[in-house]
A and B are shown apart, each in its own frame.
Chain A
Amino acid sequence: MTSADKAVPAVELRGLSKAFNGFAANTDVNLLVRPGTIHAIIGENGAGKSTAMKLLYGIHKPDKGEIRIRGETKVWKTPAEAIACGIGMVHQHFMLAGPYSALENILLGVESSASAEGRASFIPKFLRPVGRSRAIRQLDEISSQYGLKGIPWDTEVEALPVGVQQRIEILKLLYQNASILILDEPTAVLTPQETVELFMNLKKLAAEGKSILIITHKLKEVMNLSDDVTVLRGGRVVGCRRTPETNIEELAGLMVGRKVNLQVAAPPAPVLGPAVLALKNVSLKTRSVHETGMHRLNDLSFEVRSGEVVGIAGVEGNGQSELLHVLLHPLEFCKSRDGGLSGEINCLGSVTHDARRSLSTKRIRDLGVGIIPEDRHKEGLLLERSVEDNFLLGQETRKPFSVSGFISGGALRAAANVAIEKYDVRPRNLTIEAGNLSGGNQQKLIIAREFEQSPRFIIAAQPTRGVDVGAIEFIHQKILLARTAGAGVLLISSELDEILALSDRILVMYGGKIVARFQRGEATEQALGLYMGGAGSK
C-alpha cells in the first residue's frame, strides 16, 4: 500500500444517479480518486462519463447519491460552489472567448483576486479595476512552477495554437487554486507532440499533489498516463482497475461489453485500377489571411487509384477542410469573389475543375462519388427528419426512388429497411428522427446511404469522429470492404491509428501542403507526428 491509498480520497462519488426526462444517464455511479493521481474515466459515447463529471462540477444536480471532496459531503447548486471547493474543469470545447486576451480569459470570474488590495475599497468589487501587473506576476509564478510555458498574456486567444489554448485553460484552473482537475477529451485536438507535452505537464501536476480526472476514449492514452481507470457503460460503472494491472484488450471489452477486435487487418490491396481522383498542382488562395482562418492549399498533386485507400494525416485546420471543399464544390470558387482556385482536378475520368470550368456538386456526385462528411450534423444529415428521409437524401431524382417525378415511398422503405439491417443502424426504426440516434448510428446511417449507391470513389472525412469503439470497428470494416470491391478511398482523419490501420498510402498535410508521403508499413506514429507538427518535409 502506498501513501496515496491510505490518504483520504480527493474525490468520492457514492451511488450517484441522474436521469434526464426519464432517461437514466447515470445509475449508481461510484468513483474514488486517490489524491495526487491521474484517474482515467473511459466509456463509449453516451456511457455517462460527461454526465458524471457535470454532476461533480455542479452543472447538474444528482437525483440520488453523494459527492465527497476530501472526505466531506458536498451539495452544490452552481459550478461557482464547486470551483470554490477547488474543482476545475477543462471542457472538450474550450471555454475561451476568441477575441479577448489570454489574461482576460484566465481572470474571468476571479478578477477581484487580482485587484489591488486596500486601495479604493469603497468601490464595490465588481467595479474595481483589474490589477493587471499583479495578476501577471501571480501567473508567471504559477506557470513556471508547473512548467506551463509560452503563454503570451496579451494576445487574443483565437490567434494562438490549440495546444497553447489548452495550457491557458489549465492555467485558468490553477489560478483559481483548483486541486482537482477534470479534463474532458483533452487530446482530441492535439498533435502527437502536443499530446506528449500535455501528458508531461499532467504528470508534473499530479506529482505536485493535484488530483486529475481525465475523460477519454483513447485506450492507449489511458495506459500511458493514468494511475487508475474507471470504465462506464450505459450509465453504470462496469469496472475499476489499477492501470498497471490491466491492459487495452480488457478495457475495450469492458467498454463495449463484448470482445472487440481492435486491429482490423487490412487484406492485401487488390490489383490497382485506374485513377479515380487525380489532382494536378491544385492551389487555393483566399483574399485575406483573417478570413475565418482559412488555410490555403499549396500546390497539391496526388492520385487515388481504384482499389486503394489513401490516407491524409494532419492536425485539423491544415487544409483538410479546404481540400474537401475544393473536391466537392469547385464551382463555388468560380462564382465567388474568391476566385483563387487553380490547378486541375480529375474525378472518375471527368475533369471537375480546370482553368476553364468547374462542375457542380450534383454533377460530381452523379459521377459515383460517395461522401462521409467531416461534420455529420451539418453536412451529412437532417437531424429533425426521419431516418427514412435521411436515407433518401441526394437520391430523390434517381431510380428506383423516383417514379416519373414522384417519390416512391414503397421502394424507399424497402431499400432503407434492407440498408439499416445491413449496416446495423440501431434502433431499426425508419420513422424516428435522425437526431435521436447515437453518434455511431448516425454515422452508420450515412455510410449505409452512401455505400448502398456503390460509389467508385469514396471520400471519408473523419469517419469515426465521436463514434464508439464498437462502431469504429464496423466502419473500418465497411471501408476496407469497399476497397476490396474496387472503390478508391480518400481517407481524411486526424486519428493516427485510423490512418495507419486503413491506408495503403499516407500523405501528411501541414499548412495546406503535402509535406510527406509514406507507403503502408513505412510510417510510424512518431514519424507522422513530426511531419504533422511541421517539422519538415519528405
Chain B
Amino acid sequence: MFTYEKRLQYPIKIAHPNPKLAQIVLTQYGGPDGELGASLRYLSQRYSMPYGEVQGLLTDIGTEELGHLEMIGTLVHQLMRNATVEEIERSGAAAYFVDHTAGIYPQSAGGTPWSAAGMQSTGDAIADLTEDMAAEQKARKTYDNILRLSDDPDVNDVIRFLREREIVHYQRFGEALRIVTERQDQRNIYATNPSFDRN
C-alpha cells in the first residue's frame, strides 16, 4: 500500500508566475509521455512480472514517478497561482483558465485529457520492459523540449533533475530486461512468456 511523505523529492520554489510555461510543463502531468502515464504503467505491469527483482523495480520506480507527478503539479501550481487574469489571457492560457481556473488538470500541452491509450500493460515481461525503456526515452525527450522552450532558471533546475531521473530509470529497466532475458532458454528466448506460460 502507499504512504505519503510530506516533502518533495527535489525542492521547488518558483519566483515568477508564467502561465504560458505552466501549460507546457503540464504536459508532463497529463500528456502521453508524462509522469501519470509512467506511474500507472509501471504499477500496473508489476503484477504479472515473473521475478521479484522486476516486481520490486517496477513498484519502486512507479512510486517515484508518483512523486514526480506531484512535482509537476507543484510547478504548474506555482507558475499559475499568482498570475493576473491579464497575464493569463496574454499568455494564451485563457481556454485552460475558463475550465480549470488556476487548478491542476491532467491534460497534454495541446489540451488532450490524459488517456490510458498512451500506455500499455501487455502481461509479457519482455514486451513490458521494452515499452518501459521507450517510455523513459519519451519522457527524457519531453524534458529536453521543455528546456528548449523555458528560460526560467527556477523551473529549469527542477526539470534537469527530473530529466536525469528518466535516464537512470532507463538503465534500470534495461538491467531488468537483461535479468528476464538471461533467465530464458538461451537457444530461443521467445519460446514462452515467463509471465504466463507454465513451461
- The answer to whether A and B come from one shared complex is no
Task: Please report A residues at the B interface, Cβ cutoff 8 Å.
Answer: none
